Structure 1
């Protein structure tokens, strides 16, 4: 599915970037210029990126949060 119509970026492109280590919108913008034009795709791109994060990253973040709670 197309996420960014301005730049022709799909959800599969975002998932592939996440699998290669991309973990933020800033990094995603550097790699593929998403959300740099009209910005309507920003929220959806962030959600897809979060869902595509490797499980170990999420677990590591949960442990870090728990350590400071």
Structure 2
């Protein structure tokens, strides 16, 4: 695997997907934090369940964000 993947010029498609993926990551993390800390969200969950659900959503956001930087072997060179 090439180590200079981030140094090469990105195509407009990859640049757009990076921006869109970053925006989705930020929204997902904010949503997870809202579930954990904002008590006025109408969820009938116990406090430990709210924290667990929020952490699960944040973990999903981190997983999606990490997948942005994985180079697909079928992607154009």
Give the TM-score of the pair, scaled to structure 1: 0.31
**Structure in which a larger fraction of residues adopt strand:** 1
Decide which structure has the larger Cα Rg and report it. Answer: 2
